[in-house]
Structure formats: structure tokens, C-alpha cells
Amino acid sequence: MIEKLERKFGKYAIPNLMYYIIILYGVGWVLQVFAAGFYEAYLSLDPTLILKGQIWRLVTFLVYPPSTDIFYFLLGMYLYYSIGKTLEYQWGPFRFNLYFFTGVVLHIIAAFVCCYIFRANLGVMFGTYYLNMSLFFAYAATYPDATFLLFFIIPIKAKWLGIINGVYFGLTILAGFFTRFFSLSMLMGLAQAGIIAHPAYSVMALVSLGNFLLFFFGMRNMRRYSPKAVYRRKRYTQSVQKGQRAVNTHKCAICGRTEKDGENLEFRFCSKCKGNYEYCQDHLFTHEHVK
């Protein structure tokens, strides 16, 4: 299905999508630092206000930056831009666009589910954290052996970071749906670990895994987009193109014709020209010799 969509709508994909997302994060950082409260009041993903006509919130919530601290903001901008660009290069613009915007749609659906089913308006808290985490999960699954420096010192592979985050989100999901089975001390311990045992938070955690699970476990042909498979296809394409160029061994130095321009064309090298200059039969005896 995705391949059919790509053939039909691939020309509408936004190339270098993360470049524009990073610009949005920059705008959001300026708003958060110099106009505190403006995002929550006018731009956040608030389902109740969206249903009252503020439909721009379906898009403007994307300006929320990874952090308001200048150091972590710049670090997050660099990290997510690199991850997004790498995935786009690996999958192609259309597939990366589809992955990213599927996450956006899931965010919107989750905000409405939390608000009108679990009676918790958490849309204003969504920001872009879970959306960025879905990009990281995709990167860790595509490049499991890529190395990050934990705390800028400890080297750790992307797959282990992905597993650690996956366990954390798994606990968040289970805690929300099975909260009635936990004791008060267990709930307090989870809260200290940053896990809120509420179904709405479980839905929020599922958001970051939704498009990841869809793409990596629902699509049997995702192996075609692994780094090794893409590298093999590019090497094959390069070898074919190189072979095609090698076939065109004859080319006239005057008119530029090759043997493909006519079955009866003949080419000869001129012994009086300094260097390897080849001419067709029409210019072999009429050209000026190169000294």
C-alpha cells in the first residue's frame, strides 16, 4: 500500500522536512523564552478549544521546542535534525514524510481520546516530546549499532538506548491500564520515577510507539530500507551506470557523436594529434591537428 501511495503521491513529499521542523522549534523556543504562556494559550493541542473553532492548533502545537534551556535546546535541535535527515536519506522523502505525519495524526487522536474518554485534557502537555521519541525509536531500529555518548562520556549503542526507552514506555502503558492493582507505595514509587499511573498517560506513551509499530512490525518489506539493503542497491545502480558509460568507448572530439548515434559510424584515433583524440569518419581528415 505504501509503495502504491509513493508512486502516486511521492512527488508531493517535502524534501528536507526536518529543516522546516527545526525552524518551527526555533520559533517555539523564542515564544517559550520571551512570551511565556503564549504557546499554552493560543498554540497548544487543546481539543476543547479546537472544537470551538481554533483549528490552527492542529498544526501550531508542532512549534513546541525539545527544551527551553539553551544548551539542551541546541543539542536537541542537532540530534533530531541529524536523526531526521539520516532517516530521510535512508527511506526517501515520501516514506519519511509519511512516518512523521502519521505520528502527528496519532498525537491529535490521542489528545482527543485523553480528553473525551479519560476526562484528562493533556493535549497542552503533549508538545513534541513523543513525536521526537518516535523518530529516535525509528533511528535505533534502523541503525542499532550507531553509538551515542551517554552523559557525553559513556559510549552506548542506539539499540540499547531504544530498549531502555521502550521498557520505560512499556511501564508507563502498563501502569496506566493496571493502576487499580497497584498499592499506594508502588504508585508513589512510579511517580518518583516519572511514571504517572493514569490511562491518559498510557495513551500518550502509546503515541510514540504507534507509527513505529505500524512501520516496523506491520510492514514486511521494511527490510528493503535497512542500511545494508540500501547500500547494496546503490552499489548495484552505480555499477550498472558505470558499465553503461564504459560501453560508450568511442566519441568524436569534434561533433561528440558516439557509436550509439549510428550503426555505420566509424571512429579512428589521429596519429598526428598530440594526445588521445578520436574522430568519426566525417572529421578524421578534416579536423585541425592538436599540437
DSSP helix/strand/coil, 268: strand
Show the CA angle centred on residue 225, arms to residues 219 and 226, nearest 5°: 110
Q: Is residue 231 part of a domain?
A: yes
Query: What is the percentage of the chain residues whose pLDDT exceeds 70?
Result: 88
| Band of pLDDT at residue 183, cut at 50, 70 and 90 | confident
Instruction: Say if residue 66 is in the same domain as residue 201.
Output: yes
Q: Is residue 227 part of a domain?
A: yes
What is the rounded CA–CA span in Å between residue 145 and residue 271? 57
User: What rounded mean pLDDT belongs to the chain?
Assistant: 82
What is the rounded CA–CA span in Å between residue 94 and residue 23? 20
| Band of pLDDT at residue 146, cut at 50, 70 and 90 | confident
pLDDT of amino acid 150: 76
pLDDT of amino acid 124: 73
Q: Is residue 282 part of a domain?
A: yes
Amino acid letter for position 4: K
What is the rounded CA–CA span in Å between residue 83 and residue 140? 10
| Band of pLDDT at residue 244, cut at 50, 70 and 90 | low
Instruction: Say if residue 265 is in the same domain as residue 189.
Output: no
What is the rounded CA–CA span in Å between residue 50 and residue 57? 7
Instruction: Say if residue 253 is in the same domain as residue 210.
Output: no
Instruction: Say if residue 253 is in the same domain as residue 153.
Output: no
Q: How many domains does the chain have?
A: 2
pLDDT of amino acid 185: 82
Q: What is the mean pLDDT of residues 244-268?
A: 73
Q: What is the mean pLDDT of residues 218-245?
A: 54
Instruction: Say if residue 79 is in the same domain as residue 19.
Output: yes
Q: What burial class does residue 196 get, using C-beta atoms within 10 Å of its C-beta: 0-12 exposed, 13-18 middle, 19+ buried?
A: middle
pLDDT of amino acid 22: 94
Q: What burial class does residue 214 get, using C-beta atoms within 10 Å of its C-beta: 0-12 exposed, 13-18 middle, 19+ buried?
A: middle
Burial 135-149 (b: 16+ CB within 10 A, else e): bbbbbbbbbeeeeee
Instruction: Say if residue 219 is in the same domain as residue 268.
Output: no
pLDDT of amino acid 266: 80
What is the rounded CA–CA span in Å between residue 15 and residue 125? 29
Instruction: Say if residue 166 is in the same domain as residue 74.
Output: yes
Instruction: Say if residue 192 is in the same domain as residue 270.
Output: no
Q: What is the mean pLDDT of residues 169-173?
A: 84
| Structural domain range at position 253 | 249-291
List the single range of 32-41, 65-74, 174-183, 219-228 with lowest mean pLDDT.
219-228
Q: Is residue 141 part of a domain?
A: yes
**Is the pLDDT assigned to residue 63 strictly greater than 90?**
yes
Q: Is residue 68 part of a domain?
A: yes
**Is the pLDDT assigned to residue 131 strictly greater than 60?**
yes
Instruction: Say if residue 286 is in the same domain as residue 191.
Output: no
| Band of pLDDT at residue 42, cut at 50, 70 and 90 | very high
Q: Calculate Rg over the CA atoms of the chain.
A: 28
